[in-house]
Structure 1
Amino acid sequence: MRTYTLGEFARLTGKATSTLQRWDRTGVLTAHRTVTNRRYYTHDQYLSVMGLPPEPETTRGKRTVIYTRVSSPGRRGDLDNQERFLRQWANARGLIVDEVWSDIGSGMNFKRKNFNRIMYSDDLEHVIIAHKDRLTRFGYDWFEHYLNRRGVTVTVVNNEQLSPQEELAQDLVSIIHVFSGRIHGLRRYAKEVREDESLPHGTRPDPSAG
């Protein structure tokens, strides 16, 4: 469903932003909130304010969304930078953005809420991202192919400034940590097997091979 920022909604409805803010506080018209706590409104809310009937489900069509991601809460402000840049990019090309979906988490974490919305939504048509690693740190081509097979177009604007290098360093450190832990676990397991007197002769690992 199409969404609007506070300023866009004020212009469309002819209401002052201060009025909309007051309505939000008093519960007259409750705004939705982005990950960065910014107000936004849905197209259904616009129709309600204007006294227009809701659109039938069959006329709503599929959505175009902007997807933004940062690796940690400390970089939350970068979500706004990504959204601002991508909205400008879309507006310059006449693209209507229905929603902005954001995640805070590593590009190697495939349990991100909105990442999974992208993977499994049936009413999605177009996803716009600033850089490949905003969607996933590794394996981007596979995910793009999967989405294309589902009829979803992914547009990568390729703004390197919105892809912080320190995030890559953090992800590489995480990979090293995971594999170091696994190697340590395997060595400990091999040591326990070698020292297990209950095992038949010849089944224990050769210490010289470890």
Structure 2
Amino acid sequence: MLLCMAEQKRHKITEAAQILGVNPWTLRRKVYKDQIPYIKEETGRVYIPAWWVDQQVGEKPKPSDTRCAIYARESSSENKAAMESQVEGLTRYATAKGYRIVSITKEFASGLNDSRKKLHKLFANSEEFDLLLVENKDRLTRFGFKWFESLASFRIEVINSAENCTSDLREDLVAILTSLAARLYGQRRGRKKTQAAIKALEET
């Protein structure tokens, strides 16, 4: 249902998906099939009207006894804007669900790093929350998410099942190559081997 471009509040599809707790592609398919109202600019960019999103979740979500801890991770401190966007989306989602946010943890580290101090501290204080909210599975861990989920004393909720950005995967790959090359060839020679491997990957 295409709406006119009248002045009205709207959300990007990714924002609306975070609020509703669905995959962005679910909304895109509904837009394509004309199953939900949407606004389309002359540039082709599509938005979801805020009033429709509010109808789906309720403008005033019922208070919940669920204590929610938010964990956001980016691979590098250079991604501060992405970090703030991630936290904003998680906060908006938790609010829409009626969760009571008790803590927000931001951490800059690789998903392969199992010595993340802030994540360890969060787990050590797990009695303070009932639910851990993350954007993607790999925000919590690159591998072994099912182990985290089965061993944790709290519930883990992922708001977006889509794969994460290529740049983050690339940085994790570089970390793996650097570690392996250093063990095989030594620190100095290993660094050169890693740089050569990265260059070869970029050229393919």
TM-score normalised over the length of structure 1:
0.53
Cα shift readout 1:71-91 (whole Å, capped 9, x = no counterpart): 111001111111111112112
Which of 1 and 2 has greater Rg?
Answer: 1
The equivalent residue for 2:157 is: 155
In structure 2, C-alpha distance between the alignment counterparts of 1:102 and 1:123, rounded to whole Å: 17
In structure 2, C-alpha distance between the alignment counterparts of 1:153 and 1:136, rounded to whole Å: 15
The equivalent residue for 1:142 is: 147
Q: Structure 1: which amino acid aligns with 2:100?
A: I
The equivalent residue for 1:51 is: none
CA RMSD of the aligned region, Å?
2.0
5 Å-filtered alignment, 1:106-145, equals 106-121=110-125, 122-145=127-150
| Deviation of the 1:62 alpha carbon | 7.9
Which sections of structure 1, spanning at least 5 residues, go unmatched?
1-60, 186-210
Question: How many aligned positions are there?
Answer: 121
In structure 2, C-alpha distance between the alignment counterparts of 1:123 and 1:107, rounded to whole Å: 24
TM-score normalised over the length of structure 2:
0.54
Are residues 1:99 and 2:103 paired?
yes
| Deviation of the 1:110 alpha carbon | 1.8
In structure 1, C-alpha distance between the alignment counterparts of 2:111 and 2:144, rounded to whole Å: 10
The equivalent residue for 1:171 is: 172
Give aligned-pair identity as a percent. Answer: 30
Give the direction of change, closer, same or farther, for the CA distance of 1:157–1:62 in structure 2 (3 Å limit): closer
Determine if contact 1:118/1:124 at 8 Å carries over to the other structure. no
In structure 1, C-alpha distance between the alignment counterparts of 2:90 and 2:128, rounded to whole Å: 21
Cα shift readout 1:96-152 (whole Å, capped 9, x = no counterpart): 2122111011111122222112322232311000001111112211122221xx2x0
The equivalent residue for 1:183 is: 184
Structure with bigger RCO (C-alpha 8 Å, 6+ apart): 2
Give the direction of change, closer, same or farther, for the CA distance of 1:168–1:175 in structure 2 (3 Å limit): same
- The 4+ residue runs of structure 1 with deviation greater than 4 A are none
